[in-house]
Structure 1
Amino acid sequence: MVAVAEGIQRRLTMQTTEIAPDTTAIRSLDWDRDRFDIEFGLQNGTTYNSFLIQSEKTALVDTSHEKFRQLYLDTLKGLIDPARLDYLVVSHTEPDHSGLVKDILALAPNITVVGSKVAIQFLENWVNQPFQSQIVKNGDRVDLGNGHILEAVIAPNLHWPDTIFTYDTKTQVLFTCDAFGMHYCDDYTFDEDIDLIENDFKYYYDCLMGPNARSVLSALKRMDKLPEISTIATGHGPLLYHNLSELTGRYRRWSEEQAKADTTVAVFYISDYGYSDRLSQAIAHGITKTGVAVDMMDLRSADPQEIKELMSIASGVVMGTPPTTGDVAAVAQTAMGTILGATNPKQSFGVFESGAGESESAYLLVNKFRDLGLTPGFAPILVKDTPDEQVYQLCEEAGTDLGQCLSRDRTIKQTKSLDSDLDKALGRISSGLYVITAKKGNITSAMVASWVAQASFKPLGVSVAVAKDRAIESFMYVGDRFILNVLEAGNYQGLMKHFLKRFPPGANRFEGIKTYSASNGSPILADALAYMECEVKSRLDCGDHWTIYATVSAGRVSKTDAMTAVHHRKVGNHY
């Protein structure tokens, strides 16, 4: 089916597959989705996965995005009369998984909605009608008969404050909603080919789970107490079966690395209020790129003691503006008072607007932090309309600025720690000077590069090293395109000086620079000696850098008798 959404034709299809005895996956395939939450470079669409368990009693685990309303409901009716549903398990209340809860309640008025306390509270406010509910805590069970006993595993902040996993003791299927998922759409229900999905799997983790690494580890500890897990039924992308141990092991390793960070930033937001959750996630992702850990906390459900404990270890605090009116205002204002009372002058802070009309002024909140002696980590982020690509990129770059500021002393210490002889020896490795330019959607980025080399003949390919905390890193995923601009010896100082300066978050890096567009849409520097059009094929994790391998499809030299600018460093442990 081709569906029309917001004037754009998009391909939406449905798939049903039996994944275990009495258990059917209902997958809504969104083939053309090109952006999801903060994930800037989504290349492979996404899926919204729902699951039907039919035993003596029946349970539906999650629903779907409202864009699939008719397709999903027709598919569900082809499997069961919805009026026969006994339970609806709401893994969390984010709209892409609970967007059709109202429709299910209309079709099955006697259904019991199962969820965490916070989830049920959210639904009561949203549905605005009475419904039967069952609040579950960790280890609570729902018996469907014939051995299908659903056990709740509390997993808050993955990546929604009300998240639960659900474990079927008979089939050993663990339903995890967002966790362990990815935005990858194809006809394969399971993870048959890990090579196809591992980049999307890591990208998803980095964007949505990495900022909640400590919560990931807590969920993994609870999972360790379960009997054997045969399948992880995710809310997005393929289900994990063939590579389950490998991929969950990667989550554990990545999260342990994040949790070991010496510095932590507390990020406070309000779920389902304006765009607070998405904006905070973008800022958090930018922070984690610098090696600084993030603890995210939802002001709707934050416990005062937990706030105090987090603030006592945090080197920085980021807060979304709370509402001044409505049901959430009193709770959020109380939590904010606890945060302000737990600050100390050594902390840095950042403030962003939530994008809702009745929010407190960002500047009022900034003044409160300043009056307490805190140092601003980035300028307040003002959001008046629906966030677009530029706003999300600004948020990510602001988070990176804050993370770099907080980790500066550590970086200087590490720079001084290398043996001087080795340091000088490494500095003798010479390299050319280049500027990488890229465009994705409506935003552009650039950086000076020196660690560039030809990597292959067939196909023609180059390698580029990109520090993980560079803004352009978000433009260098598999499938992305960029321009490698070669700087000219004796005529590079102007361009190098321009692109080496520190740009404020969201700034136009090409202001005052003459460019023209390549066939791949990226800017070509008019004063470059040569350029090459490149497409990213793979990324290799090299500690504090990514090594990007890209194929080259086109190029041109402007001066055949000129030479490439060469860079010689005195030392080898920093630029």
Structure 2
Amino acid sequence: MQAIRIRDGIYRISANIGNKDLFEGIWPLPNGVSLNSYLVKGEKIALIDLVKDWDDAPGQIASQLASVGVSFDQIDYLIINHMEPDHTGWLRELREKNPKLQILASKKSIPLIKNFYGIEEGVKAVSSGDSLDLGDGKTLFFEDTPNVHWPETMVTWERSSKVLFSCDAFGSFGAMGNKAFHDELSASEKDFFDRETLRYYANIVSTFSPFVERAIKKLENLEIDVVAPSHGPIWREEPEKIVEQYAQYASWMKGPALPEITFVWSSMYGNTQRMVEPVLEGIRSEGVPVHVHRVPQEHVSFVLADAWRSTGIVLGMPTYEYKMFPPMAHVLDILDRSHVQSRTAFRFGSYGWSGGAQKQLEEFTSSMKWNCMEALEFAGAPDADDLALGRERGAELARAVKKMCQADK
């Protein structure tokens, strides 16, 4: 694959990663992911962000650099926007190939570079407002954007081209193949990347939503013609759209989000499962979209993405040894870590000799500021009255979601 020109002297250098591994050791990549680095050529040469040794990413990068006449030992500067190893994992090897390489990173990155890779020489800290003149009209400016999504994160902006190199901000899951730009994608590919951008945000960035909002506010001072993230498509047409998309995602943390419901259920022997369809019927009778997931059969990554966009949550789970069913407890732990707050929720479930799941759930929902309807618990299998009540509760939740979203307009 060739390096792809973004503007004169500026190229995307990218590696396509397959689907066999989990991102961060947690999140599935059914359609892979791209690791985007960027080459800026003035009189001096800068590489912005790196890769890790993953699916021969270094080899992919080397061949693309060669396509524009650059080798690793010709790079003068490496700009590290973010220290996470998917962007720095090959740093030690690059330094061995290019001992004169100068590394520029935020102040908080400097100890991490030492701790992760044992590198101390040739490293310079930069802060908001600092710049690097590469000559031939190319000047890089740096802006600290802490906690998007580690504390040391920054972005880089090239003045002449007005390209923002945003690293994790404005990124997406999904490998790009031979394409680079959002405007090159077909309608179906754009729909796919819309979904994967939301899943990426919910899985990777959502915990830090207040910092995303602050970073977006900071970036209002920059004139941006191109948004070039380290994962996913580059936005050279209407770059404000991806910024607005991220701003909307960040606003959903404290709710309300969209007038939708995420319905997560689990069942041991089928008794809790009997209540699933009646509750769904109630929700659908009110015309509210609903996203249904069964756990542990479905990965929490996809549950989290839908929960992030939904104002309403349904939890169908039995009691298990006096507590919540463990797969559902895992889902709720992830929602807690990701700060899925201020949702309207309803829970139903079966118990045998004793309950207990509801008590544990209430401790969780209180800390998350969820507004919970009265739970529907039943001993063993639900009877006809239980099923009818489940349908009523589903409709009631749907009405509450619509009302909350209308009030927020």
Q: Which residue of 2 aligns with 1:232?
A: 227
Shift of the 176–123 alpha-carbon distance from structure 1 to 2, 3 Å rule, reads same
Cross-structure match for 2:23:
36
* CA displacement at 1:453 relative to structure 2: 5.3
Q: Against the structure 1 CA distance between its residues 191 and 502, is the aligned structure 2 distance closer, same or farther, given a 3 Å change threshold?
A: farther
Residues 517-543 of structure 1, C-alpha deviation per residue, up to 9 Å, x if partnerless? xxxxxxxxxxxxxxxxxxxxxxxxxxx
- What is residue 127 of structure 2 aligned with on the other side? 137
Report the equivalent of 2:191. Answer: 195
- Structure 1 counterpart of 2:280, from 448, 452, 473: 452
Displacement, 1:144?
0.8
> What whole-Å deviation, never above 9, does each CA across 1:392-437 have from its counterpart, x for those lacking one?
xxxxxxxxxxxxxxxxxxxxxxxxxxxxxxxxxxxxxxxxxx9966
Q: CA deviation at 1:16?
A: 2.0
Aligned-pair distance for 1:448? 4.6
| Superposed counterparts of 1:389-538, under 5 Å | 448-449=275-276, 450-452=278-280, 465-466=290-291, 474=300, 503-506=324-327
Matched letter for residue 37 of structure 1: E
SS at the partner of 1:210?
helix
Structure richer in helix, relative to its length = 2
Say if 2:32 is the partner of 1:18. no
Unmatched segments (≥5 aa) in structure 1: 1-13, 262-287, 289-433, 439-444, 456-461, 481-494, 510-543, 545-562
CA shift for structure 1 position 191? 1.3
* CA drift at 1:159: 1.5
Unaligned residue ranges in structure 2 (runs of 5+): 258-262, 307-315, 331-369, 371-383, 399-409
Normalized against structure 1, the TM-score is what? 0.48
1:34 and 1:23 map into 2 onto residues whose CA distance is: 30
Matched to 1:452, the amino acid is L
CA contact (8 A) 1:436 1:447 kept: no
| Residue 65 of structure 1: aligned partner | 52
Query: Is 1:86 aligned with 2:103?
Result: no
What aligned pairs does 1:67-216 form with structure 2 within 5 A after superposition? Answer: 67=54, 68-79=57-68, 80-187=70-177, 188-192=179-183, 193=185, 194-216=190-212
Q: 1:52: how far off?
A: 0.7
Distance across 2 between alignment mates of 1:135 and 1:121: 10
Deviation of 1:147 after TM superposition, in Å, equals 2.2
1:289-438 maps to which residues of 2 (within 5 A)?
A: none
Amino acid at match of 1:503: M
Give the secondary-structure state (helix, strand or coil) at the position aligned to 2:47.
strand
SS at match of 2:39: strand
- Give how far 1:216 is off: 0.4
Q: Please tell me whether residue 220 in structure 1 is matched to residue 216 in structure 2.
A: yes
Structure 2 counterpart SS, 1:207: helix
Query: Separation in 1 of the partners of 2:317 and 2:251?
Result: 38
- C-alpha distance in 2, partners of 1:94/1:28? 16
Are the counterparts in 1 of residues 12 and 38 from structure 2 also a CA contact under 8 Å? yes
Q: 2:14 aligns with which of 21, 27, 38?
A: 27
Q: How many equivalent residue pairs? A: 315
Deviations 1:452-474 (A, max 9, x none): 3599xxxxxx9973589x98783
1:255 equivalenced with 2:250 (yes/no) = yes
Separation in structure 2 between the aligned mates of residue 30 and residue 212 of structure 1, nearest angstrom: 25
Give the Cα separation in 2 of the matches to 1:573 and 1:212. Answer: 32
Contact map agreement 1:63 1:101 (CA 8 A) in 2: yes
SS in 2 for 1:258: coil
| RMSD over aligned Cα atoms | 4.3
Q: 1:52 to 1:260 in 2, by over 3 A?
A: same
| Residues 171 and 230 in structure 1, CA contact (< 8 A), matched pair in contact too | yes
- How many percent identity over aligned positions? 24
Are the structure 2 counterparts of residues 135 and 203 from structure 1 closer, same or farther at C-alpha, using a change threshold of 3 Å?
A: same
Distance 1:63 1:220 in 2: 24
Q: Report 1 or 2 for greater relative contact order, CA contacts < 8 Å, sequence distance ≥ 6.
A: 2
Instruction: Give the 3 Å change call, closer, same or farther, for CA 567–475 of structure 1 in structure 2.
Output: farther
Instruction: Report if the CA contact (8 A) 1:15-1:28 is conserved.
Output: no
